[in-house]
Amino acid sequence: MDALRLVTSRRIASGDCVTDAERRNDVCLFFVELGLEGSETMAKDMRIWQRLLRGGLAAMTIALMPVARAMMTPATTAAVAQGNPAAPAPVAPASQTPETPAPESFNNRIHVGVVQRFGEIPQDRLILRDANGGSVRVTFERNGQMETRNLDAIAIELDEIPVETPIIDDRIVLSVHRSFESAEASARDWNARGIATEVAQPDRWEVWADRDTYDSPLLRQMLAESAKAAEIDKVGLFERTRDRRVQLAWKVLGETIRGDAIAIVPSSGAAKIEHGVTRPERYTYGGTFYLQPNTYGTYTLVNHVSIETYLRGVVPYEIGTGAPYAAIEAQAIIARTYALRNLHRFAVDGYELCADTHCQAYWGITAATATTDRAIAATAGQVLAYGDKPIDALYSSTTGGFTAPFEDVWRGESRPYLRAILDSVSVNWDLETKPLSEEENFRQFMTLEKNFNESEWETFRWREKTSLKEMTEYFKRYRTRSGLSADFSAIEAVEITERSRAGRILEMRVTTDRGEIIVPGDEIRSAFYPPISTFFYIQPVAEPPKPPGATTPQPLLSPQPPDAAADAPADAPKSSAPKQPWGYEFVGGGFGHGVGLSQTGAYNLADIGKSGREILEFYYPGTALVPIEEVELDRRAPL
């Protein structure tokens, strides 16, 4: 039987004025000022304030005293006045699940969330059965006892159940981002300020104040108020109260069983999964499965699978089964490296990687072919390393002609092996003498279309027009989804304000009827519809494009009124205001962030005879191909 581990609620560490000598003076003085010294409330809330201080807010303590007084509940205030303070009412934890299945021994197994948000739709359904006609072994808890059943299949649905004590979901959202890389950089910044953080993905990537550190509503409210006082306008307090929660429900021998965690082991080592009701998605995955609670009040189906089996579900979808063999080998190595480098992405939810393009496309083993399997086997256990660590093995579809250095797309330390590389073996372009940060140089480079590794691909060069009206609607949706103000009615103009030496846009300025908004590079692809990379320029479009087949109207033959402008006095004032354009044309190259290996470029390099190792050397100079055993792996967030 698979072991199960107990999921415990967060515990507040002990400590008071006596035991925490290093902090006691600041904290005790604060509570003396509040009039709570020597009280039970002081003993409880002292622990909160010690966390505030450990979280880097010592300098804010005295300034926040009025806020703390204002936030004291009437019951606590009255109790203090009577000399008999009472502790605040307990808050129900966000998750009331007592147990969840334990992961297997680490070895080379990784934990992938293949269904991340089971329960967002109340009618949702999951069906798991053995991929080869065998049975599935299901382990769950009932009445405090663990039970195991062998079933032909298991169908899991959801029940909404009322709770006696309302569930309060609240968290401090410090920032919202398009990508994990940007969220991780923001988390580092907050950590440097002394604020403990965690990275989550309820929709877009978010940086939260760490809930184990700021583990009470009072403490979180204080942090939000301090951010507001410091005019950090992006910090928000998310609050939600629920009187119901979802719970898993399935049947065994006709009896409905409800619970919060299930372990599922297919007898053949692979399972067919059907997710959804009206148009179910169907996948086949190897390994074992655990349906467990996540941070958002729903559940995640986590696949525990060996790294090599995982690659059988990644490589065919990322590079394509028709790719040249050397390109497939290169993809297998960087996909393995990428996975092992990013095992901390979903630590907040108790697993490691997702199954979509926020990590790598992992859509099951049914697309695996003899060729992709051969490439995975030929490179088994090999990763790219820089020093004693696996590299940040980023890759994208198409670069547009130059790969992007890491720092051109995300904040953070540069990676020496992720640099600007001309994606061609025959074109000459020297960034030292003709940097693409100069707009004239960039536009000249964009006229080059032949002899690049990606020249034959549609996404190598692209252009698309869009109206200011469409841009406004899209930009407002982006701002709202990002938790930012969308208090404007129209975009009036857009401008590229900063471009990197390798051509990537670092910043754009959007002028609205309510003022200017700066959009950083990584957010640009989310903020506007046309660009599929940040390797582009824009030009205003005066009039809407004519529909295909449209002709220019011919002048009418009937007499026309005289030209008023011709009859105007010569000294009549003329308008100097520039005419607002109808919209903009985005003219660019590449698809994706452009950092690291180009998948379409790898096709060409393989076609001209480069080996998988040579392809990797081309895109990741200075790295070494080594066995997994020779690199340092860390499942914790390297913040």
pLDDT at 169: 84
pLDDT for 279: 81
- Identify whether 607 is part of a domain: no
Say yes or no: 194 and 278 in one domain.
no
Residue at which a domain ends, from 316, 351, 383: 383
Same domain, residue pair 137 and 166: no
Residues of the chain with pLDDT under 70: 1-107, 231, 233, 548-578, 635-639
The answer to whether residue 616 is domain-embedded is no
pLDDT of 79: 34
Is 5 within the bounds of a domain?
Answer: no
497 occurs within a structural domain: yes
Report d(CA 280, CA 127) in Å as an integer: 10
Judge if 295 and 309 occupy the same domain. yes
Kindly state whether residue 371 falls inside one of the protein's structural domains: yes
Rounded Cα distance between 540 and 562, Å, is: 32
Report the distance separating Cα 508 and Cα 494, nearest Å: 7
Predicted confidence at residue 460, as pLDDT, reads 97
Q: Is residue 624 part of a domain?
A: no
CA 618 to chain centre: 28
Same domain, 153 and 283: yes
Give pLDDT tens digits for 411-426.
888 999 999 999 999 9
Helix 325-341 vs helix 612-619: crossing angle, to nearest 10 = 50
Question: What is the per-residue DSSP string for 517-543?
Answer: EEEEGGGHHHH-SS-SSS-EEEEEESS
Q: Are residues 265 and 398 in the same domain?
A: no
CA distances from 392 to 237, 271, 336, 415, 434 (A): 33, 31, 11, 8, 28
Same-domain pairing of 583 and 497: yes
Stated as kind and residue range, the H or E segment containing 484 is: none
Rounded Cα gap, residues 193 and 213, in angstroms: 15
Q: What is the pLDDT of residue 580?
A: 84
d(CA 463, CA 589): 8
**Amino acid, res. 597:** L
Please tell me the pTM assigned to this model: 0.80
CA angle at 184 for the pair 50 and 479, rounded to the nearest 5°: 100
CB neighbour list of residue 166: distance below 8 Å, 6 or more residues apart: 92, 241, 242, 243
Whether 288 and 343 share a structural domain: yes
Whichever domain contains 240, its CATH number is: 3.30.70.1070
Specify whether 233 is located in the same domain as 266.
Answer: no
Q: What local confidence, expressed as pLDDT, does residue 555 receive?
A: 47
The CA-atom distances, in angstroms, between 531 and each of 160, 161, 459, 526, 585 are: 42, 45, 11, 9, 10
- Within this chain, do residues 480 and 410 fall inside the same structural domain, yes or no? yes
Quick one: pLDDT at residue 222? 85
Per the structure, the count of domains in the chain is 3
With respect to residue 43, please indicate whether it lies within any of the assigned structural domains. Answer: no
Identify whether residues 300 and 426 lie together within a single domain: no
Containing domain of residue 289, as a range?
A: 108-159+255-383
Q: Exposure of 169 by Cβ count < 10 A (0-12 exposed, 13-18 middle, 19+ buried)?
A: middle
b (16+ CB within 10 A) / e for 12-24:
eeebbbeebeebb
Per-residue pLDDT, 558: 42
In a domain, 87, yes or no: no
Q: Are residues 581 and 526 in the same domain?
A: yes
Residues 403 and 451 in one domain: yes
Q: Which residues pair with 274 in a beta bridge?
A: 127, 282
- pLDDT tens track for 98-156: 233 333 333 689 999 999 999 998 889 999 999 999 999 999 998 889 999 999 999 99
Rounded CA Rg of the chain: 29
